[in-house]
Amino acid sequence: YLHYVYNHELVTTRDELPDWRNTPSDRERVPLPSHVAMDVFPNPTRGHTTLRVQLPKPAQVEVEIFDVLGRRVRAYVLGFRSAGELNTRIEAGSASGLYIVRLKAGDFSAHQTLVVTH
């Protein structure tokens, strides 16, 4: 009976298993993004806009909005966020014009232009 069980097609024996010690883990097979991906929409906007961020690793997240003269018009501290997608509403400048949205997340940073119309 033992011989029958070990040779049955539905039974996997130890010698048929892969070498788990030398098999790459899922983290080694799927590369993590090496930078922050950021999108601001709608763009142009009439004031409020949504900021969508893809974080490669957990980090302290801050957002600053600058006008074209380099003056900071808004600042948001979003706190410590886990890796993955983050969506948040932000308000750009109160006047129509071109703005720069800068995101800092740990060692990473990204920026995008934003047009505000009223």
pLDDT digit string, tens, across residues 55-64: 888 999 999 9
First vs last C-alpha separation in the chain:
83
Give the model's pLDDT for residue 37: 83
Q: pTM for the complete prediction?
A: 0.68
pLDDT beyond 90 at 76: yes
- State the pLDDT at residue 26: 54
The stretches of 1-118 forming alpha helices (DSSP H) are 2-6, 26-29
CA distances from 45 to 49, 87, 98, 111, 117 (A): 6, 16, 11, 17, 6
Which residue's entry shows tokens 């070498």? 19
Task: Kindly indicate the confidence band of residue 52, based on its pLDDT and cuts at 50, 70 and 90.
Answer: very high
Cβ contacts of residue 7 below 8 Å, gap of 6+? none
